Amino acid sequence: MPLWLAASLNNCSRCGTGLVFGAVDGDQRNRLVCPACGWIAYVNPRLVVTALPMTDAGQVVLIRRGIEPAVGAWAQPGGFLEIDETVNQGAVRETLEETGLMIEPGEVIGLYSRLEAAVVVLVFEARIVGGAFRLSPEATEIVAFEPHAIPWPEIAFKTTYWALSDWLRRRHPDLRPGDVMTERRRWEG
Ligand SMILES: [Zn+2]
**Each residue's pLDDT tens digit, 85-135:** 999 999 999 999 999 999 999 999 999 999 988 999 999 999 999 999 999
What separation in angstroms does the CA of 166 have from each of 18, 28, 44, 69, 189?
Answer: 44, 35, 26, 23, 23
Centroid of ligand 1 to alpha carbon of 142 (angstroms)? 47
Gap from CA of 40 to ligand 1 centroid (Å): 8
Ligand 1 centre and the CA of 42: distance in Å? 13
pTM for the structure as a whole: 0.90
Sheet arrangement for strand 40-41: 20-22, 31-33, 40-41
The arithmetic mean of pLDDT across residues 170-183, rounded, is: 78
Residue 151 has pLDDT above 90, yes or no: yes
Separation of CA 17 and ligand 1 centre (Å): 5
List, in order of start, the domains of the chain with CATH numbers.
1-42 (2.20.70.10), 46-188 (3.90.79.10)
The amino acid present at 1, given as its one-letter code, is M
pLDDT in tens, 7-18: 889 999 999 999
Q: How far apart are CA 81 and CA 64, in angstroms?
A: 21
For ligand 1, the distance from its centroid to the CA atom of residue 38, given in whole angstroms, is: 6
Q: Residue 50: which region, alpha, beta or left (left: phi > 0; alpha: psi -120 to 50)?
A: beta
SS3 78: strand
Neighbours of 38 (CB within 10 A): 11
